Copies of this chain bind each other. A is one copy, B any other.
Amino acid sequence: MAEATKSTGLRERKKLERRTRLADVAVELFERNGFEKTTIEQIAAAADLAPRTFFSYFATKDDLVLADYTDRLRRILEELDRRPAAEPAWEALRSSFATVADDYEAEESRIRRRFTIMATSPSVAARSLQLQAGWEQALADALTRRLEADPGDPMPRLLAATALAVMRASLQHWLLNIEDGPLPDLVQRSFDQLGVGLSRMR
């Protein structure tokens, strides 16, 4: 039972607890008063911390809303690694994103709340896209390794960009038209519709 509980010490535990507490009270305040009208000072006060301390946990106010993005990317990459090497790249991407779609579906309320905030505060939406651009890079790298392609081959990046675009479009559609069925199905269908041409390669 080496690292089952990763709370190595009190210090680490407190750190994590403070981070989640900040994110929690922040989202609550955002929903009550709006993102723009909530100041960092208020958030820090609600989390019982000094304003200055906020910035050792989050680089920007935007990041507060997108706290789990890092995990999400890791999840995609893990799933991608788990797919058999013989499987065509587009297939592997489809499966990986389907898994993530399951996660989203399971956390619908959280996702929806975030969507609401993004809809009214452009800076958060912008930051979200910027983080996704980082995902694109990471995905492209992973695909380059997977396909054993040249570092200069544009195909991995093209695949990564397209997959992310499909995911984003599906997510948005799902959030706005929930009657069209569960997200994983939507993602599957979208990937398939694009995939006819792609699944052939490798």
Q: Which residue of B lies closest to A167 (CB)?
A: B161
Task: Please classify the interface of chain A as helix (H, G, I), strand (E, B), loop, or mixed, using the class held by over half of its residues.
Answer: helix
Q: Indicate the size class of the contact surface on chain A.
A: 35 or more
Which A99-155 residues sit within 8 Å CB-CB of chain B?
122, 125-127, 129-130, 133, 152, 154-155
Work out how many copies of this chain go into the complex.
Answer: 2
Compute how far the CA of A92 lies from the CA of B76 in the bound complex, rounded to whole angstroms.
Answer: 33
Question: Any chain B CB within 8 A of the CB of A200?
Answer: yes
Contact A186 B130 (CB under 8 A): no
Question: Any chain B CB within 8 A of the CB of A168?
Answer: yes
Compute how far the CA of A152 lies from the CA of B201 in the bound complex, rounded to whole angstroms.
Answer: 32
Closest CB in chain B relative to A114 CB, distance in Å = 16
Compute how far the CA of A48 lies from the CA of B166 in the bound complex, rounded to whole angstroms.
Answer: 47
Question: Any chain B CB within 8 A of the CB of A96?
Answer: no
